[in-house]
A and B are shown apart, each in its own frame.
Chain A
Amino acid sequence: MSQTLNLTLKIWRQEGPNAKGSFESYQANNIPDDASFLEMLDIVNESLIENNQVPIEFPHDCREGICGTCGVMINGRAHGQEIGTATCQLHMRKFNDGDTIVIEPWRAAAFPVVKDLVVDRSPLDKIVEAGGYITAPTGSAPDANEMPIPKDVAESSMDAAACIGCGACVAACPNSAGQLFTSAKLWHLNSLPQGQAERYKRTEEMVETMEQYFGSCTNHGECKEACPKEISLDFIAEMNKDYMKSKVKNRKKAGQK
């Protein structure tokens, strides 16, 4: 049975990057409980437009939890209270009638607010640009199973590759650190045979780019709780290990310098 909810929303409104923002209260009435969180915002926006008010800008794209575009702080938690769930996959049935919901954009010095709930997350792209790729040889397609990869390794790599780059880890971190994101991007490639040729160069470049934008890890573990893909904190340990090796190894011999 579908029910409807009446909610009070306190939403961060900010006209532009340099404007001063503040919380505004909105009444969201008759929200069906099978609506997603973003659909609830759509309903609120429709009523705002009908009343000739500026709709609330919020980040969204695929709405099926795989693109990493959506993401806001909901009642002080990145992506809301559901563990392993992106904002778009959070449904209103998880809330109670009469609830007050506080919605704030991601906060980090490297994530300036663009408008309302939308922040600029391009530093995450900068980290990937610094080494989150493999230099693939061109030519004919390799035969299937030419490069054996143990199942455990493939799964570990896939667990890291599940990162959708939403930035919740940075948003949830008291230090605004990007360790979970960077380590996931690193382990995705560093654990595979294809990633070995550039392993230490990649680790060095990506870590040092990360440190230009984000804070350092103090092992709270908030990032993992916020992560819609439940990326493991152990990838951070692997990143730290590979970074140390990148400095200690004789990479001239390994051809990575």
Chain B
Amino acid sequence: MTTPIVTTNNTMAKNSAATPLRSKPKQLPFPLNLYQTAVGKKWVMAVTGLMLVGFVFAHMVGNLKLYLGVVTHHGERIYDADVYAEFLRNLLVPIFPETVFLWILRLGLLAAVVLHIHSAYALTRMNINSNDRYESKRDWLAANFASRTMRYSGTIVLFYILFHIADLTLGLIPGYDWHHGAVQSNVVGSLSNPIVAAFYLVANVLLTVHIFHGIYSMFRSLGLNNPAFDKIRQGAAAGISGLILLGNVSFPIAVLTGVVDYDVCAEGVTASEENSCVIEESHDAA
């Protein structure tokens, strides 16, 4: 390979390319040494991402209970979503005390979120540091909206999750009457506000975009990909994220259109007493 003749008297760049941008870190003991490298961080990101996608999917399926309305549970008329919430608090109850297993799951998710965000942050810094911007306009061939907006969609989704927890789990957002464990009433109360509903819609679309590229990427990051997967990978990513989108986006729309509502009279009374709830008739679910 001949080097082109350089007709200049300038000396080589001070930051000659032979000088690395960053030095090799001192190896920590296994498995921490994996996390010191970008390939290892991508692996952590894929595993935590898979956990979080699994959670989001299960969460969406759980929320479908909102459509089931009131059921008779242990002889009591109660919203099925509230029954489901009670079931989650009682997960593995004879083995663990109440809510303990739920907290184990929550801590696992929290650890996944923290690692997912930290690896994303560290890799983004590395990428910005490695990059030198083009002065002319780039023409993207393969990079799509999802892949190029991961850091932005991820950040917005983070704020959405924080709002969502403050809103429905902790009841810190004013605007409706929040009660612990009253899932149906809380969801309807919160999403009846069109601004909140619009925020949920936008955030869930971004969450889907994020999940789409995440599912598409994770097989390669984990080294599981091969030509057989290539054919179905994009379809699988679109299918799973599409299902999540369909479910999650339906909830605010269902509340705003009244498909999912909360009627205080329907609850708490046995079927025979249902007609006696007349005083509350004027109560508006919104």
Contact = CB atoms under 8 A, between A and B. Distances in A.
B224 A237 contact: yes
B130 A220 contact: no
17 contacts: A16-B8, A17-B11, A73-B136, A75-B136, A114-B6, A115-B8, A211-B37, A212-B24, A216-B42, A217-B221, A220-B140, A221-B147, A225-B141, A237-B225, A240-B42, A240-B221, A244-B40
Nearest to B223: A241
Given A10-B136, A174-B143, A221-B143, 13 more contacts: A55-B7, A76-B137, A81-B139, A107-B133, A109-B130, A121-B17, A122-B18, A174-B131, A211-B39, A216-B123, A222-B141, A226-B141, A247-B34
A236 B8 CA distance: 39
Interface residues of B, number: 66
Contacts of B217: 218-219
Given A19-B10, A60-B4, A177 B130 contact: yes
Contact of A107 (B30, B40, B126, B134): B134
A112 B15 contact: yes
B138 A76 contact: yes
B223 A214 contact: no
Given A121-B17, A220-B147, A244 B10 contact: no
Nearest to B6: A115
A240 B8 contact: no
A247 B11 CA distance: 41
Contact of B43 (A102, A212, A244): A244
A112 B17 contact: yes
Contact of A76 (B30, B132, B139): B139
Contacts of B130: 108-110, 175-177, 213-215
Contacts of A104: 134-136
Contact of A176 (B22, B38, B127): B127
B24 A208 contact: yes
A67 interface: yes
B39 A111 contact: no
Interface in B212-226: 213, 216-217, 219-226
Nearest to B132: A107
A224 interface: yes
Interface string A105-140: 001111111110010111100100000000000000
A17 B220 contact: no
Contact of B226 (A109, A110, A225, A234): A234
A220 B148 contact: yes
A175 B1 contact: no
A233 interface: yes
**Chain A interface size range:** 35 or more
A95 interface: no
Interface of B: 1-2, 4, 6-8, 10-18, 20-24, 30-31, 33-34, 37-43, 123, 126-127, 129-144, 147-148, 150, 213, 216-217, 219-227, 230
Q: Which of A10, A15, A215, A243 has the most CB of B within 10 A?
A: A215
A69 interface: yes
Interface of A: 10, 12, 15-19, 23, 54-55, 57-61, 67-69, 73, 75-77, 81, 102, 104, 107-115, 118, 120-123, 126, 174-177, 207-208, 211-222, 224-226, 232-234, 236-244, 247-248
Q: Which of A67, A115, A221 has the most CB of B within 10 A?
A: A221
Contacts of B138: 76
7 smallest CB-CB distances across A and B, nearest first, come from A241-B223, A16-B10, A17-B13, A215-B130, A76-B139, A221-B142, A216-B38
A174 B6 contact: no
Contact of B136 (A76, A218, A225): A76
Contacts of B225: 233-234, 237
Contact of B135 (A23, A126, A242): A23
A84 B149 CA distance: 27
Contact of A237 (B11, B14, B226): B226
Nearest to B14: A18
Given A76-B137, A177-B127, A212-B24, A242 B41 contact: no
A222 B135 contact: no
B6 A75 contact: no
Contact of A241 (B13, B18, B216, B224): B224
A129 to B, nearest CB: 11
A182 to B, nearest CB: 10
Contacts of B127: 174-177, 215-216, 218
A18 B8 CA distance: 12
B220 A236 contact: yes
B213 A219 contact: yes
A163 to B, nearest CB: 14
Given A216-B126, A217-B42, A122 B17 contact: yes
B33 A57 contact: no
